[in-house]
Amino acid sequence: MSNDVFSFNLKKYHIKKGDGPHIIITGGIHGVEQTGTYTAELVWEKLQSKNVIGEITIYPMCNPEAAKVYERCAPQDNLDLSRIFPGKPDGSYSEQLAHHIYGLTGGADYILDLHCCGVYGSTYTMCWYSRHDFAHELCRALGVEVVIHTKGTRGQFYIESCEERGQKGLLVELPGGQPNGVIDVPAAELMAERIMNYLKYIKVIEGAGSLSDNVVFCGTLDRDNNKAVCDGLYEPAVASGTFVKKGQPMAYVNGEPFNAPYDAIVTTAPPKRYVFQNNDIVRFAPVEAVQKGTI
């Protein structure tokens, strides 16, 4: 329990016209992940020329103290804000911030939480599609080609919103962020356009949103089989966002292939560098979808 009571004044954009649903868009829950913040700002700019028929609230920078130091977590307590929702009113700095954000976002119909997966990553949607019936349709409306299944780690904002409040929540990972708050401008611009389609589809802005037929629902990120087996020179064999077949090289270490253990999507492929035994080299997930009730 904290003896201090913190006050928060998060940047907020809000517009309500008509009786359509309410969506809340959040960025910067991890302070360094600033492609998400920039995307949220672009969405607000685009909304100025749209006919809003519902309600939109945007919090582009949810963890400003972390953003100031280009870190994932706020320096006041170094707690991961995306693991402690719904927070505590009498907790540490980040626990109180989580409680504050959770209070601000109750009552919305939809949640869209924008994150970053590093400068060498690719764009993907993350959700609990095997558990939440709305997810397949909404992921297709968002139109990101790759959907990664969450492991269901509680304390994340969008998961707690779905599980505890029945809100329809999705999380998007964008390239950029780590290190030093790098913004991937093309990824942000494309994501902002996709969000416009999403807002049309859920009847928050006027227009006819479409459902993409090119969305692939993949498994969870494999964090066990992506380690270097020895020290040496790592070289990527494929780019981030590439689909690979079982047995296809994803990378090389000292010239030896690091092959895909199954059909997979490569979500992160760093450039050439030296690695050491048990370092992560590439990140990937199985293309095979998670079946309902499995996780």
Indicate the burial class of 149 (C-beta count within 10 angstroms; 0-12, 13-18, 19 or more): buried
Q: What is the mean predicted confidence (pLDDT) over 223-241? A: 97
User: Which of the four pLDDT bands, split at 50, 70 and 90, describes residue 295?
Assistant: confident
Q: Assess whether 138 and 233 both reside in one domain.
A: no
Same domain, 237 and 171: no
Q: Which residues contact 182 (CB under 8 A, 6 or more apart)?
A: 34, 35, 119, 176
Q: Which residue has the tokens 């459902």?
A: 211
Residue 197 within a domain: yes
| Residues 120 and 48 both lie in one domain | yes
Residue that terminates a domain, selected from 167, 201, 235:
201
Residue 20 has pLDDT above 80, yes or no: yes
Number of separate domains in the chain: 2
Q: Which domain holds residue 54?
A: 13-201
pLDDT of residue 190 exceeding 60, the answer is yes
pLDDT band at 2 (very low <50, low <70, confident <90, very high): low
Report whether pLDDT(197) > 80. Answer: yes
Residue 214 in any domain: the answer is no
Q: Residue 1 above 80 pLDDT? A: no
Tell me: do 257 and 116 sit in the same domain.
no
Residue 95 has pLDDT above 70, yes or no: yes
Q: How confident is the model at residue 202 (pLDDT cuts 50, 70, 90)?
A: very high
The verdict on 246 and 164 lying in the same domain is no
Residue 209: inside a domain: no
The DSSP code sequence of 22-35 is EEEEEE-SSTT-HH
User: pLDDT for 24-74, tens place per residue?
Assistant: 999 999 999 999 999 999 999 999 999 999 999 999 999 999 999 999 999
Based on the fold, state whether residues 187 and 99 are members of the same structural domain.
Answer: yes
Provide the CATH number for the domain around residue 259: 2.40.50.100
Is residue 1 one of the residues assigned to a domain? Answer: no
Tell me which H or E stretch contains 65.
Answer: helix 64-68
Query: What are the residues whose beta carbons fall under 8 Å from the beta carbon of 96, sequence distance 6 or more?
Result: 2, 5, 6, 8, 87, 88, 89, 90
- Asked whether residue 101 carries a pLDDT value surpassing 80, the answer given is yes
Percent of the chain whose pLDDT exceeds 90:
98
Q: Is residue 256 part of a domain?
A: yes
In a domain, 292, yes or no: no
Whether residue 150 is found in the same domain as residue 233: no
Does residue 161 share a domain with residue 24?
Answer: yes
pLDDT tens by residue, 64-86? 999 999 999 999 999 999 999 99
Is 164 within a domain?
yes
| The 243-244 sheet, strands edge to edge | 243-244, 264-268, 283-286
Whether residues 179 and 247 share a domain: the answer is no
Q: Is the pLDDT of residue 204 over 60?
A: yes
Is position 267 within any domain? yes
| pLDDT above 80: residue 3 | no
Tell me, yes or no, whether 37 and 175 share the same domain.
yes
- What is the pLDDT of the chain when averaged over all its residues? 97
My answer on whether 174 and 251 are in the same domain is no
pTM above 0.85, yes or no: yes
Residue 71 maps to which CATH number?
Answer: 3.40.630.10
H or E element that contains 148: strand 146-149
Quick one: 40 and 88 in the same domain?
yes
Phi and psi at 185, nearest 5°, equal -65, -45
